[in-house]
Amino acid sequence: MAATCSVTSAAVAVAIVAVAMAMMGSTDAAISKTYLTSYSGPGGCFGQTATVGSCGCSDLEFYDGQDFEGDTATFYTETGCAGTPYQVNGGGIQFCGDYGWRSIYIGC
């Protein structure tokens, strides 16, 4: 009887681990994979960096270059996601130079 209980306990442990791993995978899908790295320059994509990746509106710390990765985001010409909007679809885009963007909205 003891052998049956240990096999059952092991099966339950494996099932719990499998469920936990499946839940972690589905939670990852809900987290934003979109982020922006801004550069201090001067004049391009080098120097100090600051990265924004949280959902919602964020002001940029540096303006001399941006490296965008992820899905969709909207850049704005003023802080607080005000001013003229510019929507970017798809990541892997680098903007080296000051394009006038001062904030970004990342939708999640």
Over residues 15-68, the pLDDT tens digits come to 443 434 444 443 444 456 899 999 998 888 999 999 999 999 999 999 999 999
Average pLDDT over residues 73-102: 93
pLDDT for residue 85:
98
Over residues 54-75, the pLDDT tens digits come to 999 999 999 999 999 998 899 9
pLDDT band at 108 (very low <50, low <70, confident <90, very high): confident
| Contacts of range 92-98, beta carbons closer than 8 Å, 24 or more positions apart | 92/68, 93/67, 93/68, 94/45, 94/65, 94/66, 94/67, 94/68, 95/45, 95/65, 95/66, 95/67, 95/68, 96/39, 96/44, 96/45, 96/65, 97/43, 97/44, 97/64, 97/65, 98/41, 98/63, 98/64
